[in-house]
Amino acid sequence: MTRSSTRWIAQRLAQMLLVLWVVATLLFLIFRLMPGNPLAAYIDPNFTADQQQALIHEFGLDLPLWQQYLIFLRASAAGSMGQSFFYHAPVAQLVWEALPNTLILVLGAVIIAFLIGATAGAFLAWKRGTALETAGISLALAVRAAPEFWVGMILLAVFSFSLRWFPTSGTASPGAQYASLWRQLTSPDFLRHLALPLVTLVLYLQGLPLLLMRSNMLDVMEEEFIVMARMKGLPERRILLRHAARNALLPVVTAFALVVGYSLQGYVVVENVFSWPGLGRLLVKAVAAKDYPLAQGAFLLIAALAIFMNLAADLFYTWLDPRVSYAKR
């Protein structure tokens, strides 16, 4: 690794830490400047003044704002992120329990959407100017423009309530237990619960890789090496797959890392429509209950993952394309 590449990586890491600090500070201020007492829902009317004050003291809400801020930063840096008001449990425990469900849903949806979208985009570029291309692009844009909650509700109405092929909510049937994550991922019951939210996200996400791949393919197919391959008499399918598609995939692969990062909020709407117990649903519950330690922890983890995936996309792009140097970036 050269000195310039090391310097560039160090600069990006410093920028990432700065952005995380700004996000953490904004989260701290936003939730604490909200009107109302966050413990109002948990203070019984029969509590005495001393009992109410003891509860406020337990959560550190009687401290000056700057002291609460320092405690928050120290806890966030240590990974504990405080104690949940509503669940009376460590925020880190609640967040890390919800994260695997979000990762399974998001990563599965993004991988399938990019495989389908990139393949369809390459095919539509090959069929440029035909009625098939027009119909394919129109359908992709229509599905992409449809709100996720609407698509999810349509799928629920048809396949859950009418046909009763799939469950309506959750990740497992009542009483189901799994000995390991692998047993869960390969369980038919879990896959039936995963199917509808996964399809909803795939339908929403496929438009980006499809249009990006098609656009890149159209540019690559005008390059001189493609013209030369055609002059040599190579089969059109071989030109499409081995030459044009491979060179057009680079921006799509980079977009994959960015979409994963920005999708890790769990698509709050989808998780709530299907009652999927991930980060998005946990976040909605925390905000509704004014449980700002839990909301801060969930928001902060989502921001950290998005920033990290942004950095990973830059590194991956540079590794894939030798023409892009760290010094220039």
> Could you read off the pLDDT of 202-252 as tens digits, one per residue?
888 888 888 888 888 777 777 667 667 777 777 766 767 666 666 777 777
Mean pLDDT confidence for 68-81:
79
Mean pLDDT confidence for 129-156:
85
Q: 124 with 327: CB under 8 angstroms?
A: no
Token readout for 293 is 């330690």
∠ CA 215-218-224, nearest 5°, is 140
Q: 302 with 284: CB under 8 angstroms?
A: no
- On the question of pLDDT at 329 being above 50, the answer is no
pTM for this prediction: 0.78
181 versus 271: which is more confidently predicted?
Answer: 271
Q: Which three-class secondary structure state does DSSP give residue 327?
A: coil
Domains of the chain: 3-78 (no CATH), 91-320 (1.10.3720.10)
Quote the pLDDT of residue 327: 45
CA dist 315 and 200 (Å) reads 30
Quote the pLDDT of residue 45: 65
Mean pLDDT confidence for 303-322:
71
Identify the band that residue 326 occupies on the pLDDT scale cut at 50, 70 and 90: very low
Token readout for 74 is 């120290």
323 versus 111: which is more confidently predicted?
Answer: 111
What is the DSSP code (8-state) at residue 289? T
CA dist 91 and 325 (Å) reads 41
CA dist 55 and 34 (Å) reads 19
State percent of the chain over pLDDT 70: 80
Q: Which three-class secondary structure state does DSSP give residue 90?
A: strand
∠ CA 282-13-91, nearest 5°, is 20
State percent of the chain over pLDDT 90: 2
Token readout for 302 is 């989502």
